[in-house]
Structure 1
């Protein structure tokens, strides 16, 4: 259902104060003279991309192995639970779906950014849509999830490499090639963007909340905020800073934003939602107590809906952004 890479992981190489230095770095794809002619920031970016490229395959392989191990542990746990309770994993999933209720909240994933993404970024954002669908199925209170502006290469990918979406329940996701501005009352629309000065504390069931479906590595600052302002609709950001101290900017992937919203709808606590979803590496030291075992449990639980699609695993591993190491995409 969703791709097996549950949470974006740290990239294989991070350029930090203790990492490689541009002063001693030997470039691989350009001459040293060309490298020295670049600005300091350009040198850092070029070095980071070369380091990533040199270790990307090894990193992807480790990620796939980790996902396989998570699935193996989960299957062993489910087999033990089935032996003890007499309830199989399939029966338990069926019971959970039968107990699930509709929350009344509506979330839109705006996919109208295909022309601003490269091929691997399109693959990544499609994988993130899969994860949103899975999170909605796992929730005790599902939201109305709509994917809009589904056309071009994004639609093509869903119809080919990710054709399993044809079996997705419309209770958990509706995909269409339409513009949200034509689907809903304009006064009810609110675009989530990290650049908005407006911070929400509660979700209004009368509002339609929009998440920008883009992976752009910060090439387009204020993209979704500018779009919201041009359309004359509302905009806001989640109250992350009120509850959590982060060591990085409040920029998240599409599915992280969606999962935080679903967790909040389920439990009514922003702090719990943020702590459950935001990768631990983004927290400032001492702000939260957690451990790797908890992360593994989350991985295994998420894999319950996913399957063994290695292509989906590969899609989720992309180069780090300049602002958040290891993030697959930026929520604008």
Structure 2
């Protein structure tokens, strides 16, 4: 047979993509230069999708798109019903709390129960601000689909709520908040974020924010040395680090340090843009590190950690000073995470892991719940401030009383 007539031998595929045992942090994904530009269809699937037309030239709607449109119509039609259900749940919670208070009064445990029911704003004022900064990098706006921006919006909203409720809170910053994500918050979500307390929302990128953080973390106004930082009173701002969290990093984070800034990639992309956060950090000369999940938790497969879960894990470490307990608090056993007996030793009863990242179809529902939680924090703050103002007015002497006292 002549050389031209032979069929070409197909190139051998590379199957060396080893599956590591660590969950993947959102935005901290493997870099693959050959796959940087993938064609995406309007529904988020990879690869081009041909557009069919009817005989009269009108684009034909696919079955998948029709199902998506029906789900959208159903979702919009049930918005009032969901709001009513949340209101009913709120009333039920208040009734349950009232009954619990009555029972506690009879049992003599009223004061203890009241502490557990303290409002978020009171807990915020009682919580300790530490000289440490967490930054959510929102600079990947143009790489996400609309449904992915919705998911990211709910994740950063939950991050705000978690930090507000934490016993030891950090300086929290949303950087590069200046594109389509901001537009959604300004329009669809009615600028809800403008009422948030204890958070900085900036248009600067993560590298600029890291430089700015060095100034606002200066103690005493920038935080106190308590909790896990109680024995680090000799730390100075020069000891602080700037670290971009990335599971691609060869370095492992062992502890959080005072005067340090930790950056979390705000990217929901279903693993399309691999390694982009790690790449940007390296380009700007910023250190990278990964959370030590594999040292403490046995996972059955590689999964995605949503941005707010990374924030919550770090806040839990500030409270508990133990990575294993912090991971289990956020990735409970029912999700498939199992605490290893010792570092490096695998547990034998690890289960299949459910992916932590939000499902696309529930993105808007999750967003509504996150905003409702954040709105509750805002409402509690307003109500408490008004109550304090009313009490001050009641205690203030009346003008007529002043005149009587003068006479």
Look up the match of 2:265. Answer: 212
1:242 aligns with 2:306: no
Look up the match of 1:138. Answer: 165
CA deviations on 1:216-247 (whole Å, 9 max, x unpaired) are 00001111111111111100111111111112
CA deviations on 1:248-274 (whole Å, 9 max, x unpaired) are 215300000000001111111111111
Look up the match of 2:152. Answer: 125
CA distance in 1, matches of 2:120, 2:203: 31
Look up the match of 2:285. Answer: 232
Structure 1 residues 88 and 205: alpha-carbon distance in aligned structure 2, compared to 1, 3 A threshold: closer
Work out which of the residue numbers 313, 325, 336 in structure 2 matches 1:272.
325
CA distance in 2, matches of 1:306, 1:243: 32
1:191 aligns with 2:244: yes
TM-score scaled to structure 1, two decimals? 0.63
- What's the offset of the Cα at 1:73? 5.7
CA distance in 2, matches of 1:159, 1:89: 35
Work out which of the residue numbers 154, 163, 167 in structure 1 matches 2:181.
154
Contact 1:112–1:149 (CA<8 Å) still a contact in 2?
Answer: yes
TM-score scaled to structure 2, two decimals? 0.52
Contact 1:194–1:251 (CA<8 Å) still a contact in 2?
Answer: no
172-181 vs 88-97, which deviates more? Answer: 88-97
Work out which of the residue numbers 158, 168, 184 in structure 1 matches 2:196.
168
Work out which of the residue numbers 206, 209, 212 in structure 2 matches 1:180.
206
CA distance in 1, matches of 2:149, 2:270: 12
- What's the offset of the Cα at 1:166? 1.1
Look up the match of 1:295. Answer: none
Structure of larger gyration radius: 2
1:222 aligns with 2:275: yes
Contact 1:194–1:250 (CA<8 Å) still a contact in 2?
Answer: no
Structure 1 residues 304 and 108: alpha-carbon distance in aligned structure 2, compared to 1, 3 A threshold: same
Matched residue of 1:190: which SS?
Answer: strand
CA deviations on 1:137-177 (whole Å, 9 max, x unpaired) are 110111000111011211111212332211111xx311010
- What's the offset of the Cα at 1:80? 2.8
- What's the offset of the Cα at 1:75? 3.5
- Structure 2 unmatched runs, 5+: 1-48, 50-63, 215-239, 339-347, 352-369, 377-407
Contact 1:248–1:282 (CA<8 Å) still a contact in 2?
Answer: no
Work out which of the residue numbers 259, 268, 283 in structure 1 matches 2:312.
259
- Structure 1 unmatched runs, 5+: 1-33, 35-48, 289-301, 309-332
211-220 vs 265-274, which deviates more? Answer: 265-274
- Aligned-residue RMSD, C-alpha: 3.8
Work out which of the residue numbers 98, 101, 111 in structure 2 matches 1:79.
98
Structure 1 residues 77 and 247: alpha-carbon distance in aligned structure 2, compared to 1, 3 A threshold: farther
